[in-house]
Amino acid sequence: MSETLYVQLLDLTGGALLLTAVLILWRRELAVIIRVFALQGLALAALVAVLAARDASLELWLVAVGLLVLRAGVLPALLRRALAAAGPARRETRPLVNVAASLLAAAVLTLLAYAVSQPLVELAPSAATQAIPVGLTVVLIGFFVLVTRRRALSQLVGFLLLDNGITAVGFLTTAGAGLVVELGVSLDVLLAVLVLQILTTRMRETFGDTDLDDLRELHD
């Protein structure tokens, strides 16, 4: 792969990651959010595939396939099943921060990510490390979604966004953490999502809804 093509593909996939993150912030229809999340999984897998093609690394190719299956297939399917079970409540009705302010916040978070990741880029300047701020922005946007959304399902998407961002940073720093760790991390994420999905079901059984505003029993 020529250098220019590599850089262009890297920028394209990085841009797709960022765009999907912002779209999730923008849209309120839960079904749309899940579809965009699946697209982001695709972009993430493509990003790793670009790195794999460049290094001609079989291990990275395998990881890219694994990511594609998990992030663009299994996790969105799990979310969709949770949504189908949720019945009519399919919109993020009242986020704590409205859409316009959320988008502004996303811009601020992007700037913050660029500022914070200066040392990360400087340590080993390359096309891949130049894209680290994108990964960090997705992490920050994920956190933002997690704290400002009211539906259990949107919080779940926020958590997964956070994980996508971290995975992206992990591969952009181009330092594999070893197979045991990679496997463990993927398994933990999958299990955490399963646990949360079961809890959403229980919540609906006991509360009749998954609006987290109803979670008011425990406080001081």
Q: Is residue 78 a contact point for another protein (CB under 8 A)?
A: no
CA 172/CA 170 separation, integer angstroms: 6
Of positions 44, 45, 141, 152, contacts another protein by CB under 8 A: 152
CA torsion 140→142→148→153, rounded to 10°?
-170
Q: Which stretch binds another protein (CB under 8 A): 18-26, 75-83, 106-114, 172-180?
A: 172-180
CA 200/CA 208 separation, integer angstroms: 10
Of positions 27, 73, 192, 211, contacts another protein by CB under 8 A: 192
CA separation, residue 219 to residues 215, 216 (Å): 9, 7
Residue 127 in tokens: 């096309």
Is 150:211 a contact under the CB 8 Å cutoff?
yes
- Whole-number minimum distance, CB 216 to another protein, in Å? 8
Q: Which is nearer to another protein, 5 or 150 (CB)?
A: 150
Q: Is residue 53 a contact point for another protein (CB under 8 A)?
A: no
CB atoms within 10 A of CB 25: 26
Q: Is residue 57 a contact point for another protein (CB under 8 A)?
A: no
Characterise 79 by phi-psi region: left (phi > 0), alpha (psi -120 to 50), beta (else): alpha
- Whole-number minimum distance, CB 166 to another protein, in Å? 5
Q: Is residue 118 a contact point for another protein (CB under 8 A)?
A: yes
Binding site residues, another protein, CB under 8 A = 116, 118-120, 122-124, 139, 143, 146, 152, 155, 159, 162-163, 166, 169-170, 173, 175, 177-178, 180-181, 184-185, 187-188, 191-192, 195-196, 198-199, 202-203, 206-207, 212, 215, 217-218, 220
